[in-house]
Structure 1
């Protein structure tokens, strides 16, 4: 099956027509919301008509993230998944994991679609979390433990290091604990935690965090299952057709290679 063509006239699939499609869980960046991420991703959504994209809200309130005001000032209250600033209220690791997973499961259970959950799409902090959720799924499966998800791939837009520990099997110096401040975490060795489920890494070449995004990819992802796409942009979701075309192509390719019917 060929990938649907990308054009400026391509219109989104009506909501009611996506209910039986494979679903991708979408995780917003820090200091935004599910609705803001949906708006930021509107061009990408238009060109992924074979999927149902479902956007989740992070569990914790915070100030707006960079670039959110004034464009999205009416979308308050703003949210986050993790702590990255000292003013973010302390929380113990187990409670942080519970809050994050509860927010995700609530979103998934309230979605009216009935297609399988096949992938994750995250931007910035949401990309860090998406990779961490995928690794948690992998390590539980490797140990023969119950796994509640069957994500086949993740699309990581501007995700920076480190990986977040979401369970006992990823607790190490290589990962930041879910309740700790992730910004400023230092680990320069070889990580014992390497994700082998396919990931697509999208990096903006003028993004100030580019080095951290590349470090995330190199340290925590198997080179054999990584696809990297770099575009001439800053810290935002691509919207131009020329920038979207290779991303969409790779999403369809990876999904089909993993047995997703699209």
Structure 2
């Protein structure tokens, strides 16, 4: 399976309004994609379609070999990991659970443990705790963790079920600079596994070295899609973000500045 994702002429309407229009995008084996766009550009809608929680008005979609309209899509969701700042809405359910319990719950795609947990599950969770340098947090309830620590635990949780594809939806939203860099460093652990990722953001400095390709989206339409250095350019991002910007590169990582307007 060379194509992990294939969207052909995908459009989606809601309440008679075009949310996504003529989306054509392929993600191949070995690629990790960043998705750039302003709030309201269609990023979340695109993710909802990829994860089969929304269905397009038109077009053809295949994700991890599951063709929409022909496959049993609940099985697809079991092969996709998902991390988002929006998962904080479940905090009240897990606030007294330890990080071990939260990570193990990823096997069952649940918040809270409602099924039998086997010894090998705890051992796998312990391996993830070590990989993600969370040993100092063992035994601590979720409510005592910082925002950055919570995000790291949720990323470890998302890998408990060995997903083939990991969706990182603005995972650094609301984090301070230290916590952000710690989360971004975790992409190295992800790419060392048989798992590829899609990283969604509107901050280009989060497109670290492990991100190989970028899709930029504006008003529900693709502006550009391809290798990172071909898409993360002044002209493309000026169109994507709807104001003049300049990109500079430092150690393979892009940074953005807004161009000052010259007044006559």
TM-score, normalised via structure 1 length: 0.30
Q: Larger RCO: Structure 1 or Structure 2 (Cα < 8 Å, ≥ 6 residues apart)?
A: 2
Q: Work out which of the two has the higher radius of gyration on C-alpha atoms and give 1 or 2.
A: 2
TM-score, normalised via structure 2 length: 0.30
